[in-house]
């Protein structure tokens, strides 16, 4: 398989690929309700707006960190990366309405295709799942963002410090992809 699945056996890589394919089918064609992924015309203006929002979240992240609000540092860092993901999807004509579907589409169309290195997935994983050093799936990480946002756990400087550079790097990488 490709570099995204490089650390897993071929069998595990095939399983992960099928999981992404299944997620995309469910996102584009749900059994009930509206699709959470839609094909739309490529829209670089919307992509730019999401990048602008990502930069706003990076600024908010820094302010939160400087004021020892470490839980919000992580949340703002995650949203900076999430808006960068949405920007990348508008570049290829996909609109996402849920985090899970956006992240699944990003993995399929950018990481699997080699447009973005797999290390950038780890940035989102860390932003979303603080209790583990590295989350095994991006979906698990996304679920844990809710715990951090609505929970009462107290986070430390060490819990939040890593996201400052990772979120910036992630947004810059997506800006490079948009410029291609």
Q: Which two tokens stand for residue 6?
A: 């490089």
**Fold adopted by 3-179:** 1.20.120
Position 11 scores a pLDDT of 47
Quickly list DSSP for 84-143. HHHHHHHHTTEEESSHHHHHHHHIIIIITTTSS-THHHHHHHHHH-TTSSS-S-HHHHHH
- Give backbone dihedrals phi and psi of 63, rounded to 5 degrees, phi first: -65, -40
How many CB atoms lie under 10 A from the CB of residue 120?
Answer: 21
Q: What residues contact 153, with CB distance under 8 A and at least 6 apart? A: 71, 147
Provide the residue-wise pLDDT of the chain in tens; the chain has 180 residues. 333 334 444 544 454 567 888 989 999 999 999 999 999 999 999 999 999 999 999 999 999 999 998 878 888 888 999 999 999 999 999 999 998 899 889 988 988 887 877 777 767 766 655 423 323 333 444 555 555 555 656 667 777 788 888 889 889 999 999 998
Position 16 scores a pLDDT of 53
Q: Are 148 and 71 in contact (CB under 8 A)?
A: yes
Query: What is d(CA 139, CA 104) in angstroms, rounded to the nearest whole number?
Result: 8
48 three-class SS: helix
Position 38 scores a pLDDT of 96
Position 57 scores a pLDDT of 96
Position 127 scores a pLDDT of 66
Q: Which two tokens stand for residue 17?
A: 């690929």
Query: What is d(CA 135, CA 125) in angstroms, rounded to the nearest whole number?
Result: 5
> Measuring CA to CA, which residue among 37, 12, 32, 7 is closest to residue 108?
37
Q: What is the pTM of this model?
A: 0.76
Q: How distant, in Å, are the alpha carbons of 38, 61, 127, 144, 178 from that of 131?
A: 33, 19, 10, 9, 32
Q: Which two tokens stand for residue 156?
A: 């430390």
Q: Are 75 and 147 in contact (CB under 8 A)?
A: no
């Amino acid at each position: 398989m490709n570099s995204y699945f490089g650390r897993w056996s071929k069998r595990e890589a095939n399983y992960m690929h099928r999981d992404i394919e299944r997620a995309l089918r469910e996102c584009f064609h749900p059994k009930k309700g509206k699709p959470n992924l839609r094909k739309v015309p490529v829209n670089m203006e919307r992509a730019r707006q999401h990048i602008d929002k990502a930069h706003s979240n990076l600024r908010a992240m820094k302010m939160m960190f400087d004021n020892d609000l470490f839980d919000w540092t992580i949340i703002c860092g995650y949203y900076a990366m999430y808006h960068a993901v949405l920007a990348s999807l508008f570049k290829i004509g996909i609109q996402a309405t849920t985090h899970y579907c956006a992240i699944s589409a990003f993995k399929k169309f950018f990481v699997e295709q080699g447009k973005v290195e797999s290390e950038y997935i780890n940035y989102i994983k860390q932003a979303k799942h603080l209790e583990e050093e590295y989350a095994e799936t991006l979906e698990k990480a996304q679920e844990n963002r809710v715990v951090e946002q609505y929970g009462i756990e107290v986070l430390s400087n060490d819990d939040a410090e890593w996201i400052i550079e990772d979120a910036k790097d992630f947004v810059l990488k997506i800006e490079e992809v948009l410029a291609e």
